[in-house]
Amino acid sequence: MAKELKVLMMGGKRVGKSSALAAIMEAFTDGLVSSMLTATDKTMLEKKEGVKQTSIPAKLQEVKTMLQRNAGKTVLADSGSTENKWDYKLKLNIPGKSETMTIVFTDINGEFFEDDNLHRQEFLQKVSLYDVFIVAIDTPFMVEAKSGEELVDDVVNRKYNCIDSIHSFLTKIDDKDGQDAKLVIFAPIKCEKWAKENQLDMVSDYVMEDYKTTISALLKYKKVQVEIIPIQTVGSIVFEEHKEAYLFNWQKRQMLFWKKNMVSKCAVLDNGNVRLSDGTEMSHKEGSVSDDPSAILIPNTDIIRPNSWFKVLSADYKPYNCEQLAFHILDFMLSKIIDIKVRQTEGQDAFIADLMRIGNRLLNTISFGVWKAIKDVFGGIPIEDMDKIVNRMIELRLIKRDCEGIRILKQCDFKTLKKE
């Protein structure tokens, strides 16, 4: 059975990790790379504690529908939070060929790593199963905490983005003294506003500031590659403001003598009206406003998270640079596999030259240590085919580096195959 490339995505409950996954799949469907690789959702949906997992296509349609219904409005782009661990499987294949590979994205919120969380030890024991770690960062909270925003200070930002609990987990990564390279990507999400203002370098600066302790620890490893990749999850919405989190309760007339009780997250506006989550304004006299208990960040304290409101500029779905997460992962894993092969056969030049010709058949003859664990990570896709795809992506400049806020803070010193 072919192995799977395992990626752990972590971040706050409402950061937008599933929306980023939807954008990644869309890139392999409609983007330029779709002529080289296509993606299909192969997730086996689960149900945990009465909550049903949302599929990637369903999430994609949810985002597109939100845009179509709310163009021109200011809305609360919050479809819920990740309370459970969900696995999402993307099957990649080369058009016209039958060979495939599978990437498994595990979506969890950073609270799983807090000291009192029941799942903490479970994930600490499984950390070695993952080659790639993506830290999804809520950019509006991070940036507003630096601007003196009254509702978002450093305490709120660090708690909402789970900075400290994620640090405690990432610093337990084991690269086996340089024998088992890992990739950590810090991905600021919802960057549309700052991209339009040409401030993505500032966003990356803030990532380096907030995660300074974590990044410093990761840089000390022999082979942990560290990157920052800001992404625009939807493209046609921009962050507008933070407002205190409230609920609005009112009655909606359904028939002549029948009214339905309604409730919506809302913001209280300066003109006395309330703005519902879908952007609709109502007079506060038409119902009642109450505190939103789900906004409490730390139980038994007055530390509350505000709601993030976004302006929907158009109905067009235009995510940007989300695919860079997948592209960088494929590039890293290819380099890691080649590095291990070369190190195992170093000093045997003839053998290395044969490696270029023998390709995937050789992968199945070496079966020890780290090599055994990752040799089939590209599934049925021969390594020489993946090598051609990644090199073609580099030639077309589809894999971006050192632009649009993207930074390679540390690149692993991988060995490469000698060309014939």
- Residue 121's domain is classified under what CATH number? 3.40.50.300
Supply the mean pLDDT for the chain.
86
Domain total in the chain = 3
pLDDT at 355 over 70: no
Name residue 242's beta-bridge partners: 308
Instruction: Give tens-digit pLDDT for 99-135.
Output: 899 999 998 876 666 666 666 677 677 777 899 999 9
343 part of a folded domain: yes
pLDDT at position 304: 92
Residue 403 three-state SS: coil
At residue 240, φ and ψ (nearest 5 deg) are -110, -50
pTM above 0.75, yes or no: yes
Structure-model confidence comparison of residues 346 and 412, the more confident one: 412
pLDDT at position 116: 63
Which domain range does residue 269 map to? 246-289
pLDDT at position 79: 54
Structure-model confidence comparison of residues 298 and 37, the more confident one: 37
Structure-model confidence comparison of residues 416 and 87, the more confident one: 87
DSSP, residue by residue, 98-114: --EEEEEEEEEEGGGGS
**Claim to verify: residue 225 and residue 320 sit in the same structural domain:** yes
406 part of a folded domain: no
pLDDT at 27 over 60: yes
**Lowest mean pLDDT: which of 121-130, 153-162, 280-289?**
121-130
For residues 259 and 252, the answer to whether their CB atoms sit within 8 Å is: yes
**Lowest mean pLDDT: which of 103-117, 307-321, 399-413?**
103-117
Q: Which helix (H) or strand (E) holds 309?
A: strand 307-312
| Sign of the torsion angle spanned by Cα atoms 19, 21, 25, 28 | positive
Decide which of 332, 365, 384 is a domain's last residue. Answer: 332
pLDDT at 325 over 60: yes
| pLDDT interval class at 196 (50, 70, 90) | very high
pLDDT at 172 over 60: yes
pLDDT at position 365: 40
pLDDT at position 359: 47
d(CA 155, CA 157): 5
**Claim to verify: residue 52 and residue 168 sit in the same structural domain:** yes
**Lowest mean pLDDT: which of 13-22, 317-326, 373-382, 407-416?**
373-382
d(CA 174, CA 130): 10
pLDDT at 188 over 90: yes
pLDDT at position 364: 39
**Claim to verify: residue 345 and residue 321 sit in the same structural domain:** no
pLDDT at position 415: 84
166 part of a folded domain: yes
Selection from 31-40, 252-261, 301-310 with the highest mean pLDDT? 301-310
**Claim to verify: residue 183 and residue 281 sit in the same structural domain:** no
pLDDT at position 360: 43
Helix axes 200-210, 212-219, angle to 10 degrees: 80
d(CA 307, CA 74): 12
405 part of a folded domain: no
pLDDT at 330 over 90: yes
pLDDT at position 346: 65
No. of helices (H) and no. of strands (E), the chain: 14, 18
**Claim to verify: residue 328 and residue 350 sit in the same structural domain:** no
pLDDT at position 302: 86
Written as six digits, the tokens of 290 are 């109450």
402 part of a folded domain: no
**Claim to verify: residue 65 and residue 98 sit in the same structural domain:** yes
d(CA 254, CA 232): 39
Selection from 47-51, 159-163, 300-304 with the highest mean pLDDT? 159-163
d(CA 184, CA 187): 10
Nearest 10 degrees: Cα torsion 39, 134, 150, 117: 110
For residues 277 and 297, the answer to whether their CB atoms sit within 8 Å is: no
pLDDT at position 293: 93
d(CA 409, CA 193): 24
Name residue 152's beta-bridge partners: none
Give burial (CB, 10 Å; 0-12/13-18/19+) of 301.
Answer: exposed
pLDDT at position 368: 45
**Claim to verify: residue 231 and residue 136 sit in the same structural domain:** yes
Structure-model confidence comparison of residues 177 and 231, the more confident one: 231
Q: In what order do the strands lie in the sheet with 307-312?
A: 74-76, 307-312, 237-243
d(CA 20, CA 4): 20
d(CA 122, CA 374): 22
Nearest 10 degrees: Cα torsion 288, 293, 294, 296: 130
For residues 296 and 304, the answer to whether their CB atoms sit within 8 Å is: yes
pLDDT at 77 over 90: no
d(CA 161, CA 177): 30
294 part of a folded domain: no
pLDDT at position 374: 64
Decide which of 272, 289, 306 is a domain's last residue. Answer: 289
**Claim to verify: residue 173 and residue 223 sit in the same structural domain:** yes
Structure-model confidence comparison of residues 30 and 309, the more confident one: 309
Amino acid letter, 229: I
Name residue 87's beta-bridge partners: 106
d(CA 76, CA 381): 42
pLDDT at position 259: 81
pLDDT at position 156: 94
